[in-house]
Amino acid sequence: MINVTKTYLPNKEKYKKYIDEIYENGWLTNNGPLVQRLEKRLAQYLGVKNIILVSNGTVALEIAYRTLDIKGFAITTPFSFVATTSSLVTNNILPIFADIDPNSFNLDPKNIEKLITPNTSAIVPVHVFGNACEVEEIEQIAKKHKLKVVYDAAHAFDVKYKDKSVLNYGDISTLSFHSTKLFHSIEGGALIINDDELVQKARYLINFGIKNTEEIPHLGTNAKMNEFEAAMGLCVLDDIEEIKEKRKDILEIYRKELKDLVQFQEQNKNATENYSYFPVVFENETQLLKVQKALNEKQIFPRRYFYPSLDTLEYIEPKQECKISRDISKRILCLPIYAELTKAEQNSILNIIKQNIS
C-alpha cells in the first residue's frame, strides 16, 4: 500500500536513549528539559527569535487568536485544511473568505481590502503546501487597516522568503508537527512570536492561564507538548536535511514526467521550497476521479487536498462563494511523497497517471 505520505521514524535506539532520560528524571510534561532543548534547537535551525511548542497545530492557531485578542471577523482563505476555519469558529471569530490566486493557491491579496469592515480584526492567510504567501503585500494591507496577521504556516517548516524565515512574518505564525508532516513530533505544533511580551502571555495561555502559584491572569487551556513528543522531534530534527533531500528528488521526477499533462502550483519566486507536498491539478474533476480510481485499484492512495473548499461548509454563515477555490479544490490531487518512496513505486504511480489521462 502506498499512501499520500508515510510517517518518518528515526533510529529506534536514538529515540530509546531519550526515553531512558525521561524515565531517569521522571519529568514527563510541564515544560520538561526535552521540550526546552527542542525549542532552542528549532529556534536556531529555523532562524526565529521565539518558538513555543504546543500539543498540536490547531491549538497553536487558537492560542494565537487569544494571545492577540482577535475578535469579530477574520479574513482568511477557503483553500486549506479545515482546522484553519474551525479554529476561528470555535473561538467565536467569523471567517470571511477571500478567494485564492489560481496559480499559487494562496489567498490573493487583491481580494482582501474589499472585505474589510469595522468588525474585521485580523487576516489569517495560509502558506498552502509550504508555498510562501505574498507576505509583503499582506503586511502593507494589515498596517494600513491596523489588523493583526496570523499565518497558518502548518506546511511551511524551514521555508525562507528573501533569505529570512517566512515564519518571522505576521504577528504570529503557527506550525503543525503532526506525524504526517515534513518535520514531526508524533503530535505537536508551535507558535513563532517576535514580541517578547506576547511570548510570555502565550506561555501562560498554554498552561491554563496560570502565571504563578497565586496568579491566573488569563483564560487559558492545556496545550503543552510532552517529553515523549519532544524526544521524537529531537530525533527527526537530526535527520531533517536527509529527509528533505530525498523528497526533493521525488518531487523533481514528478515535475519532469508530468509537466505536459497537469497544472503545477506556481511557487513564490522569492521563497524556497521544503518539498512537503506535490499537488497536481487536472483538466476537470472527471479526469481526476478516473486517475484516482485507477491508483486506488493498485492500492495507491493520493489525497484530495483540499476538498471541499471551506466556503461550502454548512456551519459557516453567512454563505460565501469563492469560485476559484471551489474550482481548484475539485481538480487537485496530492500525489504520494515521502522519504521512503522508492523509484519503482514512483514509476508505478506515474505510469498509471499517464495511462488514465485522456
Residue 265's pLDDT is: 98
* 85 grid coordinates: 476555519
Residue 172's pLDDT is: 98
Where exactly does CATH 3.90.1150.10 map onto the chain?
240-356
Taking alpha carbons only, the member of 155, 191, 166 closest to residue 79 is 155
Sign, CA dihedral 118-313-305-180, equals positive
Sign, CA dihedral 154-158-160-166, equals positive
Residue 86's pLDDT is: 98
What SS3 state is found at 332? strand
Where exactly does CATH 3.40.640.10 map onto the chain?
2-238
Choices 3.40.640.10, 3.10.20.30, 1.20.120.160, 1.25.40.10: CATH for 2-238: 3.40.640.10
Question: Which top CATH class is 240-356?
Answer: alpha beta
The length of the chain, given as a count of residues: 358
| One pLDDT digit (tens) per residue for the chain, 358 residues | 999 999 999 999 999 999 999 999 999 999 999 999 999 999 999 999 999 999 999 999 999 999 999 999 999 999 999 999 999 999 999 999 999 999 999 999 999 999 999 999 999 999 999 999 999 999 999 999 999 999 999 999 999 999 999 999 999 999 999 999 999 999 999 999 999 999 999 999 999 999 888 889 999 999 999 999 999 999 999 999 999 999 999 999 999 999 999 999 999 999 999 999 999 999 999 999 999 999 999 999 999 999 999 999 999 998 999 999 999 999 999 999 999 999 999 999 999 999 999 6
Do 75 and 115 contact (CB within 8 A), yes or no? yes
Residue 358's pLDDT is: 67
